[in-house]
Amino acid sequence: MGFTRDAVERLSALRDEPAWLKSRRLESFGVYERTPMPDTRRDADWRQVDLKGLDLESFEPFQQPDGAAPAPSIPESLGVLAQRGTGAATAASSAAELERRGVVFCPLWEAAVRHPELVERYLFSALRPDRDKFSALHSAFFSGGTFLYVPDGVSLERPLVGQFWSAGTGGSTLPHTLIVAGKGSRFEYLDEFLDDGAAVSYVALHRWGEQAWQFAGQRVRLNRDAQFQGVNVGLGGRFARLRMEALLEGEGSSARLRGLFFGTGRQSFDFRTLQDHLAPHTTSDLLYKGALRDLARSVYVGVVRVEKNARGTSANQANRNLLLSEKARAASEPILEIENNDILRCSHGATVGPVDPEHLFYLTSRGIPEPVAERMLVQGFLSEVLDQIPVAYARQVVEEELARRIG
């Protein structure tokens, strides 16, 4: 048990990985060994996070394929599936179509062998292994995951999907999604996690079981005029931490970031976002909305950074939290770091509170029973983000899950 050097070697041998990948894993493992657990009192990046009860030694370092799927496969008409669990799952007809257009869409381990020129160059170029202990662990032990390359100018009509799940209590699941979008390409990608200049739309659906600990990181680097739309949906996990970082490196690039979460029981969410404006005339627009019931809690820390030469920046950041019980808690901390005053617009806002009593009065004054009115208001509150989920299949899954949680 536990994450050891020997386990890294076994994992790498399992897929007969190329030497460069194995040595990167071992290098990352060295970082993992040297790096202490985050100091949740002193390290600003981990403030308010409760890691008590997390014992890394108790986890299986990786899973043997494949375990029964906790959810049905999505219909071919709704999306092209690359991977289910740790196995490849692209239907032959779709695979041929993608190949014809030069798209690479396959499990990451397979891409590492077949397309080393792409994978070796980009893997962990955005998400650095030395960021913290969990990043190092991920780089050393990632298994499963998807590689997607869409060449210049290629538009894909159907969304591409990866589905991942854990084999149950005690397992660890460390899938890594690497997407390389060519200039002028356009597509939608959905990562679904279960338990029980390009225009890219990315949706991550986090639906882990209630005992799961999640430490997820997303980082997108945008070149000139690239557009990114990312939606994160948090519904599962005992503790779910998600870092979403958009680096606007190219002039005219834009990112639209959306988050949606609903916590029940003792669930705890931890969102850290970064809108990093590094080039002129870049745009970012972030909205994270969530509702918490029972003893659930959430922490949101969002940074908007406008670097020196990022003149003409337009940045918007909002985090809205709805508390549906007296013991639910939400903390929200917006941070602005502005080094260029020649900006177009920069706004931020945070709210934490119960359902607005004026709204409730208005609906009940029309004869709508209070519990129904509250449900409508919660749905209405979340629909602003729900309606913007770009992948129809994902929107439907989230809608059903929310309906179940709202009651």
Kindly report whether the peptide bond that precedes residue 66 is cis, defined as omega within 30 degrees of 0. yes
364 lies in the site for other proteins, by CB under 8 A: yes
CB-nearer residue toward other proteins: 342 or 384: 384
382 lies in the site for other proteins, by CB under 8 A: yes
Q: Which of residues 92-131 bind other proteins (CB under 8 A)?
A: none
User: Candidates 88-96, 203-211, 305-313, 363-371 — which segment interacts with other proteins by CB under 8 A?
Assistant: 363-371
Sole binder of other proteins in the list 363, 391, 397, 402 (CB under 8 A): 363
User: What are the φ/ψ torsions at residue 236 (nearest 5 degrees)?
Assistant: -120, 180
Integer Cα distance of 70 and 400 in angstroms:
16
CB of 369 to other proteins, least distance (A): 5
379 lies in the site for other proteins, by CB under 8 A: yes
**DSSP, res 56:** G
User: Candidates 192-200, 230-238, 352-360, 394-402 — which segment interacts with other proteins by CB under 8 A?
Assistant: 352-360
35 lies in the site for other proteins, by CB under 8 A: no
Strands 87-88 and 80-84: antiparallel
41 lies in the site for other proteins, by CB under 8 A: no
CA 401 distance to own-chain centroid: 18
Beta strands in 249-381 (DSSP E): 254-263, 268-277, 283-292, 297-306, 314-323, 329-338, 345-353
Q: Which two tokens stand for residue 120?
A: 């070796």
What helix, strand, coil percent values describe the chain, rounded to 5? 25, 35, 40
User: Candidates 3-11, 34-42, 274-282, 353-361 — which segment interacts with other proteins by CB under 8 A?
Assistant: 353-361
381 lies in the site for other proteins, by CB under 8 A: yes
Q: What element of type H or E holds 93?
A: helix 92-100
Sole binder of other proteins in the list 118, 303, 343, 368 (CB under 8 A): 368
Sole binder of other proteins in the list 14, 384, 400, 404 (CB under 8 A): 384
Binding site for other proteins (CB under 8 A): 357-359, 361-370, 372-373, 376-377, 379-384
